[in-house]
Structure 1
Amino acid sequence: SSESYAAAGGLHGVGAAVVNALSARLDVQVTRGGKVHQLSFKRGQPGQFIDKGKPSADGLFEAQESGTEVAVVGKAKRGLTGTKIRYWADTQIFTPDATFLYEELEQRARQTAFLIPGLRITVRDERRLAGTPGENGPHEEVFQYDGGISEFVDHLSQLNPVTDVWRLHGEGNFSERVPVLDSSGQAHMQDVERTCEVDVALRWDVGYDTKIRSFVNIIATPKGGSHNTGFDQALTRVFRKAVEANARRLKAGNDRVEKDDILAGLTAIVTVRLAEPQFEGQTKEVLGTPAARQIVSKVVADQLTELLQSRKRAVKQQVDGLLEKIVAEMKSRIMARTAKETQRRKTALETSSMPAKLADCRSTSVEDTELFIVEGDSALGTAKLARSSDYQALLPIRGKILNVQKASVGEMLNNAEASALIQVVGGGSGRSFDMESARYGKVILMTDADVDGAHIRTLLLTLFFRYMRPMVEAGRVYAAVPPLHRVEVINPGSKANEVIYTYAEQELHDVLARLETDGRKIKEPIQRYKGLGEMDADQLAETTMDPAHRTLRRVNIEELEKAEEIFELLMGRHVAPRRDFIISGAEELDRQQIDA
């Protein structure tokens, strides 16, 4: 009945009619009142299939006249009810290779289970298709979430949380003028009282990505609508007041918090339930009911204000951390805007406002330039002599920089090495990063070929991954590959000795074995480079910096979510998962490989 749509809704308003129109066969089986009723359709025509063996769309079919009673095909236990629908996609309409996408079915089932706490949905794949989870046999997943949208937020947000999952509930009434049929079938406009229920779950984490999903009566509204507008308005209004009230403590100054500062790191599920919602368009992607905006805004504003003013110690600590994060995001945005305006690549007519330790290049062509991030001042001296100053710039860093996976945005901006690096790259940081403003075509991490160098490289990559990710996604971040050994092969007579560089211990052994087999002698001792500073300028240029001879490793992000999980595991705040990871892999470690 129409009462069912008070808290539910179909996707496109056409439902089973379109499924039937696109199916070679559709079976509907309804269990009710102790009986099992069944009706089938063959390309839209009602009737019954007479199956011999496994049901198929090609079986014998008996058509039924309009008005015929639905056939009873069995009995059911008392109190048992339910509907079973099976359909075979019509191969006259779909291409022969068309298949159901398991990932989309799984995603839809999980989403619906989150939105209806306690509902149990099972997805079972018996197709044995290659490339699917069920390729080696039937694959089944069961989705049931008693925590509802709170668990949905947990599922979407995997990073270090700044706050717990906060749940905001409430409702509001509004009047709506709608056409109502009278007893004679005539439509008359009449004012109807409606109730709009609001349920929101939200949490902030240390990142800057925003994930907001909104729903109306379990229907996803990916393009938002009036409920999203109300949610955004409430957030902006409440947090602006909170920051202004604590401006002195937060050192916010006179700058104004913007919506993007508040949304950074936010994961939220916004759901509303109301009878006969108005949508913009047949696909129901945008909610149009005007009253939803004001009701959602009031519920969120009232409940969020109450949370921000809570005297509970745990909540107060979370609120303080959240306000500091928002102010830090504001400062980061302002810094990026300032950098965009004043820190363009210097020309002959303007001076550079870059850090003093930057040894910049002369070229103004972004595509051709390279920024080498060098470990230590000793390596910087050699690199200055080895580089081509026309297009290669150098920025030294001192030791191990801040681990930004654990640190807040404010701590990152206050760190001299991290802020200098962001300033030199020139594109800003976080959500405001602008690829067009990046000052170099390539950023090359040039660290020592030892454990410390690998650690520094990981810390630098964490900074790029977290705050300058578009550079990594565009394939503009590289790791230099310096050699480990220098083998000088003695040539007879006046001929100059031959030099061979090796990049791994096993490669060195293979080279020495080959030379011994060929009867050639080497100059002892073999030079082992413990750091870049031990190389002569010509050696560093030849092996690591000269594009004609060097090897670079491009840093790629093939699976973004998987990369986030690994960065969080290896570099995040939580020690226990990292300890478990180290213990579980301890047996696979070759102790001989430890550079100690």
Structure 2
Amino acid sequence: MSYTAADVIELDDIQHTRMRPQVNLGARVYQTAAREIVDNAVEEAGAHGSTVSIILRSDGSFTVTDDGRGLPVDSDPAGKNGIVKTLGTARSGGKFTAHADAESTGAGLNGIGAAAAVFISRRTDVTVYRAGKTYKQSFGGGYPGRFAGDGFNPDADFTRDDTQKLRGLSNGEPAVHGTSVRMLLDPSVAPDTALDITEVLLRAHAAVRMTQNVRLTVIDEGWPGGPLPAALLGSFSGPWGTGAVLDFMCACAQTPIPTLRSSVEGRGEYVTGRGPTPFRWSLTAGPAEPATVSSFCNTVYTADGGSHLNAAVKGLTEALASRAARLRDLGLAKGEDGPEPQDFAAVTALAVDTRAPDVSWNGQDKTGVSSRSLNTAMATDVARSTAVWSANPANTDTVTVWTKLALEAARARRSAEGAKSRSRAASKAKGLGTNLSLPPKLLPCRETGRGSGAELFIAEGDSALGTIKAARDATFQAAFPLKGKPPNVYGWTVAKARGKEEFQAIERILDCGVRDHCDPEKCRYDKILFASDADPDGGNINSSLISMFLDFYRPLVEAGMVYVTLPPLFVVSDSSQRIYCQDDAERDVAVARLRSGGRSRVEVQRNKGLGEMNADDFWNTVLDPGQRTVIQVRPDALGGALHHTLFGGAPEGRRTWMADAASRIDTSSLDLD
């Protein structure tokens, strides 16, 4: 086989980013791209201006404007102008000098994110205002150049020009300065993902609240898939800081906003590749139930937390537990211990902001921070500052209220742990008669109760039950077959839902209550997994179950207990191996792969249903925790707006959502014959 230099493909940065967008933008490609543009604007306004505006357009594009310095508009010796060099060139920026990078606590340090966003756009127009003149640079498919005509038409004729010289037009407003970016992301780059603009706006609001004196305006001109939550639209003009962002995040999560609170701050050093590196932090926290935590690093909302959040929670709760041990008149029973750090964590609403150079992000999407050194140094400093705060007599009442709430959590936790132990003991000792109240079609397992590792598979049809029975591990895997497709119970009363046999059976099996009375600790299983056929009907069944659990068993979803399994539609095999495939494309790739290896006989088995799968295939793909692939069900952002649109809202909302989803499909790849 010939293998020469001509066989090695070399891509430029734009081609590579469009072909492998996750490399530079993470798994949530469009989320990260939009956030990078917003983060740049917030950072520029914080350092050199005071306002940021976001306009959401009816064509799916968005405009982000700041009143900072305005991007450079001159050209370098190679002829590349400042806009192209800043937003159209990977690994470029003003933070790569040793001095600037060592001290910068901005959101962007790598010179990749904003450029990658431009690279995956269909069209981007950048407008700069400087010294009374307006400059414009366009990008088509990531490349710099000019579009024909006026307006914002991504399909207009485009002429590439890498060395375009910018000519400013007088605007008569010499005091106006800043940068405006209008971007339409290309849905064909990452067709399996979508842009959730509500999350982008949530992070924008959070970032502005962490950037002193920066104001934000969000305008919706008919964003596809709307309406958007009112809390994310309009204007924000203060106050700023961790207290303000704590109020905002609690309001968005619909959790109590603490009226009593602690605000502390500090600084220290942690170790990076440069050696000892300074950092500073601030946090606002207070007693509230349920707990709500929000973390920020260099103004970026880190939804997945990380080192700085762990340090804040650890330092705060350990200091509070230490102070609580010295309080009197808590009403402790004889021999009863006071609350522990984990109990304070269960009743604390907290927002923490960390500023540190050379941050180790968990990826380009910047959803978390990873640094053991930062965790250790910051936790110690948070504990010290909280200890000083809690020792102040003026804060004794707040500490006492906090401690009493934590004591209630401690008692509930210890009671649950005792009940769990008793449940495990009873499970091992119980006889056959204990399960007589459960549905007769339930295939039980020997282990039950939270913490037991037990799994319940809600399966499509009676035919699947035989396969599950032959393949499962009866120690910890139970199964219940559905009779037909479960109804859409979104918004139903509990009484109406219980009128459906399948709903009533699931409620009895789980035994954890519904809606406001649903308690994950009372559930008979640690995981609930939906197992439906790998076809459209199976997808509909999974959707109905997801809707049911989001509405009636939301605490189980929020606790990470609910999953969707992915049984294969095809099994491609030869004499030595079996390859599991989800769709026609994967099947064709698998067949080609086996035939390229010289196999003379390749078999393709299409699984019409779970009942037709053999036990080994079912174990490998659906049941085996060590190798199966599952999707965890999670609540959608801001209290279920998408859930309402798809299952409970007006038909127009679903039509709009489906039209938006269809617009992201490459119809040229479909076989329509």
Percent identity of paired positions between Structure 1 and Structure 2: 21
- The alignment partner of 1:268 has SS state of strand
User: Within 1, Cα distance between the matches of 2:639 and 2:367?
Assistant: 26
1:70 to 153, 156, 166: 166
Q: Does 1:336 align with 2:416?
A: yes
- The alignment partner of 1:212 has SS state of strand
Q: Does 1:113 align with 2:178?
A: no
User: Within 2, Cα distance between the matches of 1:348 and 1:214?
Assistant: 43
User: Within 1, Cα distance between the matches of 2:173 and 2:236?
Assistant: 26
Following superposition of structure 1 onto structure 2, how do residues 127-166 of structure 1 map, counting pairs within 5 Å?
127=222, 129=224, 131-133=226-228, 141-157=234-250, 164-166=260-262
Following superposition of structure 1 onto structure 2, how do residues 429-440 of structure 1 map, counting pairs within 5 Å?
433-436=521-524
- 1:285 CA drift (Å): 3.1
Following superposition of structure 1 onto structure 2, how do residues 99-110 of structure 1 map, counting pairs within 5 Å?
100-110=195-205
Indicate conservation of the 8 Å contact 1:126/1:134, yes or no.
no
Deviation by residue 1:13-48 (Cα, 9 ceiling, x = unmatched): 522322222222221122223332221122233222
**Counterpart residue type for residue 204 of structure 1:** P
Partner of 2:142 in structure 1?
A: 44
Following superposition of structure 1 onto structure 2, how do residues 541-580 of structure 1 map, counting pairs within 5 Å?
none
1:274 to 351, 356, 361: 356
Indicate conservation of the 8 Å contact 1:250/1:327, yes or no.
no
User: Within 2, Cα distance between the matches of 1:433 and 1:24?
Assistant: 49
Q: Which has the larger radius of gyration?
A: 1
Indicate conservation of the 8 Å contact 1:41/1:48, yes or no.
yes
Partner of 1:10 in structure 2?
A: 108
Q: CA RMSD in A?
A: 4.5
User: Within 2, Cα distance between the matches of 1:258 and 1:327?
Assistant: 8
Partner of 1:544 in structure 2?
A: none
Partner of 1:286 in structure 2?
A: 368
1:57 to 148, 154, 166: 154
Q: 1:150 to 1:365 in 2, by over 3 A?
A: farther
- 1:331 CA drift (Å): 1.8
Indicate conservation of the 8 Å contact 2:216/2:237, yes or no.
yes
Length-normalised TM-score, structure 1: 0.52
User: Within 1, Cα distance between the matches of 2:361 and 2:558?
Assistant: 39
Indicate conservation of the 8 Å contact 2:268/2:377, yes or no.
yes
User: Within 2, Cα distance between the matches of 1:265 and 1:344?
Assistant: 28
Deviation by residue 1:298-335 (Cα, 9 ceiling, x = unmatched): 332123222322222xx322211211221222122111
User: Within 1, Cα distance between the matches of 2:401 and 2:362?
Assistant: 39
- 1:146 CA drift (Å): 1.6
Indicate conservation of the 8 Å contact 1:12/1:284, yes or no.
no
User: Within 2, Cα distance between the matches of 1:48 and 1:116?
Assistant: 35
- The alignment partner of 1:280 has SS state of coil
- The alignment partner of 2:438 has SS state of helix
**Counterpart residue type for residue 24 of structure 1:** R
Indicate conservation of the 8 Å contact 1:32/1:81, yes or no.
yes
- 1:200 CA drift (Å): 0.7
Partner of 2:175 in structure 1?
A: 79
Indicate conservation of the 8 Å contact 2:264/2:389, yes or no.
no
Indicate conservation of the 8 Å contact 1:49/1:59, yes or no.
yes
Partner of 2:278 in structure 1?
A: 195
**Counterpart residue type for residue 342 of structure 1:** R
- 1:134 CA drift (Å): 10
Where structure 2 has 5 or more consecutive residues not aligned to the other structure, the ranges are 1-93, 441-510, 527-550, 561-634, 641-673
Partner of 2:332 in structure 1?
A: 251
Deviation by residue 1:95-135 (Cα, 9 ceiling, x = unmatched): 6x997544233322222222223322222222364642499
Q: 1:276 to 1:437 in 2, by over 3 A?
A: closer
Partner of 2:118 in structure 1?
A: 20
Q: 1:124 to 1:100 in 2, by over 3 A?
A: farther
Indicate conservation of the 8 Å contact 2:203/2:300, yes or no.
no
Indicate conservation of the 8 Å contact 2:269/2:277, yes or no.
yes
User: Within 1, Cα distance between the matches of 2:199 and 2:363?
Assistant: 23
**Counterpart residue type for residue 388 of structure 2:** E
Where structure 1 has 5 or more consecutive residues not aligned to the other structure, the ranges are 179-190, 352-361, 370-423, 439-464, 475-556, 563-596
1:299 to 376, 381, 404: 381
Partner of 1:367 in structure 2?
A: 438
Runs of 4+ aligned residues of structure 1 deviating over 6 Å after TM superposition are: 344-351, 424-427, 429-432, 471-474, 557-560
Deviation by residue 1:339-375 (Cα, 9 ceiling, x = unmatched): 2223679799899xxxxxxxxxx74445259xxxxxx
- 1:273 CA drift (Å): 0.4
**Counterpart residue type for residue 438 of structure 2:** E
User: Within 1, Cα distance between the matches of 2:236 and 2:153?
Assistant: 29
Q: 1:57 to 1:73 in 2, by over 3 A?
A: farther
Q: 1:70 to 1:227 in 2, by over 3 A?
A: same
1:122 to 192, 217, 233: 217
**Counterpart residue type for residue 42 of structure 1:** G
- 1:75 CA drift (Å): 4.0
- The alignment partner of 1:246 has SS state of coil
User: Within 2, Cα distance between the matches of 1:363 and 1:559?
Assistant: 41
Partner of 1:324 in structure 2?
A: 404
Indicate conservation of the 8 Å contact 1:21/1:44, yes or no.
yes
1:223 to 279, 282, 304: 304
Following superposition of structure 1 onto structure 2, how do residues 415-494 of structure 1 map, counting pairs within 5 Å?
433-436=521-524
Q: 1:261 to 1:285 in 2, by over 3 A?
A: same
Aligned pairs, number: 368
Q: Does 1:234 align with 2:331?
A: no
- The alignment partner of 1:57 has SS state of coil
**Counterpart residue type for residue 165 of structure 2:** E
Deviation by residue 1:41-71 (Cα, 9 ceiling, x = unmatched): 222332223424x3312334443253x4323
Indicate conservation of the 8 Å contact 1:210/1:264, yes or no.
yes
- 1:435 CA drift (Å): 0.7
